[in-house]
Amino acid sequence: MAEVRPESMQRITTPELARAYIDERIEELRAQVGDKKVLLALSGGVDSSVVAAMLIKAIGQQLVCVHVNHGLLRKGEPEQVIKVFRDELNANLIYVDATDRFLDKLAGVTDPEQKRMIIGGEFIEVFAEEARKLDGIEFLAQGTIWPDILESEAGIKAHHNAGGLPEDMQFELVEPVRILFKDEVRVVGKELGLPDNMVFRQPFPGPGLGVRCPGAITRDRLEAVRESDAILREEFAKNGLEGKVWQYFTVVPDFKSTGVKNGKRTFDWPCIIRAINTTDVMEVTVEHLSDELIDHLVDRIISEVPGINRVLFDYTPKPPATVEYE
Ligand code: XMP
């Protein structure tokens, strides 16, 4: 496919334009891949999901998807990947639950950058191990999108999708959404029949809930992050905020404070709610929630999430605060 986005290319905003793009790519993919096999790390994020759906249409069982659960995914995510891709789209999907492996390696690690490196490095190791078990893979599919290319050219962000695999494992790349902007990837994904909550989902960092469990990750605190995040997402969806607010999540910091519940002293963590809007993620404003919704969130999180006795709201824009806590 084209190395650069043609200047004359029309922005894909309608199902018709998406269909035309998909048809063109499918033909191209079939010609590129022939009867060979293609490997894809399927995270469940928008880009890799759209690439998977397109490749399933183009080459069916010649695509091998590997979904690595690093134990830092949101509640219900691995289940949704399996349901959508294995059960509904009949994908050739390998599911690897590597939770213990990741959490064991992360035990006691407090430095944010070291945590990121462990998560990234272990991810590649698990993925490479699965790849080695397979025969006849000649291609690696990636959800590289046009802003990735622009940002890596401008030196803003290393385009890390491509690198990483061990030296002896070099595949030819297949990048069917490479010339698309994010909004176009979503239109194409919808046309490919992916569910709205997959196509229009909020950004989620590669290190997952790991950066929302600041300091050394423990299973109980991670569970508190996961459960409170699920409640927040559920309430945002119920209150018409899903798809409107750019990003929202919870953080459970590593300190405890005194509280009281059923007449007894508690000593538990706080849960911080962060809800933000932005266009470019360089500058971010805070979404102000209604008093009723805040009260309801406090109520639910306190009563349903073990280990939490306070709920705090982060009112800080970026700058000075980054979106994530680590
Ligand atoms: P910050 O915290 O830098 O976040 O203001 C800006 C946006 O980037 C996401 N983010 C990450 N995404 N790997 C990712 O894939 C990461 O390590 C990472 N750190 C932050 C963050 O969720 C926000 O949307």
The model carries a pTM of 0.94
Ligand 1 contact, 247 CB (< 6 A): yes
Same domain for 192 and 101: yes
Ligand 1 contact, 281 CB (< 6 A): yes
Same domain for 97 and 177: yes
Ligand 1 contact, 323 CB (< 6 A): yes
Same domain for 255 and 190: no
Amino acid identity at 284:
V
Provide the domain count of the chain: 2
- Segments forming the whole domain that contains residue 54: 15-199
Amino acid identity at 33:
V
Q: What residue owns the CA closest to ligand 1's atom 23?
A: 323
Same domain for 186 and 225: no
Residue 144 is predicted with a pLDDT of 94
Same domain for 187 and 74: yes
- What the block records as the tokens of 93 is 């999907």
List of residues 6+ apart from 65 with CB closer than 8 A: 40, 41, 42, 52, 85, 91, 92, 93, 94
Nearest alpha-carbon partner for 119 in 131, 129, 107: 107
Query: Is 216 inside a domain boundary?
Result: yes
How far is CA 11 from each of CA 14, 183, 185, 279, rounded to the nearest angstrom?
A: 9, 9, 11, 18
Q: Average pLDDT over the chain, rounded to whole?
A: 95
Query: If pLDDT is split at 50, 70 and 90, which confidence band does 301 have?
Result: very high
Q: In what order do the strands lie in the sheet with 92-97?
A: 92-97, 63-69, 37-41, 137-141, 172-174
Same domain for 195 and 288: no
Query: If pLDDT is split at 50, 70 and 90, which confidence band does 276 have?
Result: very high
Q: What's the burial of 324, exposed, middle or buried (CB within 10 Å: 0-12/13-18/19+)? A: middle
Of the residues 148, 178, 199, which one is the last residue of a structural domain? Answer: 199
Which of 144, 281, 316, when mutated, tests ligand 1's pocket best, judged by the most ligand atoms within 8 Å of its CB? 281
Query: Is 3 inside a domain boundary?
Result: no
Tokens 């950004």 belong to residue: 203
Same domain for 158 and 42: yes
Same domain for 118 and 30: yes
Same domain for 134 and 230: no
Backbone angles phi and psi of 62, in degrees to 5: -75, -10
CA of 207 to the centre of ligand 1 (A): 9
Q: What residue owns the CA closest to ligand 1's atom 18?
A: 205
Same domain for 176 and 222: no
Of the residues 175, 199, 223, which one is the last residue of a structural domain? Answer: 199
Amino acid identity at 15:
P
Reduced to 3 states (helix: H, G, I; strand: E, B; else coil), residue 312 is: strand
Residue 169 is predicted with a pLDDT of 86
Same domain for 151 and 77: yes
Query: If pLDDT is split at 50, 70 and 90, which confidence band does 158 have?
Result: low
CATH number for position 250: 3.30.300.10
Task: Report the share of the chain in percent with pLDDT over 90.
Answer: 90
Distance, CA of 255 to chain centre:
27
Query: Is 1 inside a domain boundary?
Result: no
How far is CA 204 from each of CA 93, 110, 183, 262, rounded to the nearest angstrom?
A: 22, 21, 16, 36
Q: What's the burial of 80, exposed, middle or buried (CB within 10 Å: 0-12/13-18/19+)? A: middle
Residue 167 is predicted with a pLDDT of 85
**E-only strand ranges, the chain:** 37-41, 63-69, 92-97, 137-141, 172-174, 247-251, 257-261, 264-278, 284-286, 308-313
Query: Is 9 inside a domain boundary?
Result: no
Residue 163 is predicted with a pLDDT of 57
Same domain for 145 and 66: yes
Query: Is 4 inside a domain boundary?
Result: no
Query: Is 321 inside a domain boundary?
Result: no
Query: Is 6 inside a domain boundary?
Result: no
Q: What residue owns the CA closest to ligand 1's atom 8?
A: 205
CA of 35 to the centre of ligand 1 (A): 38
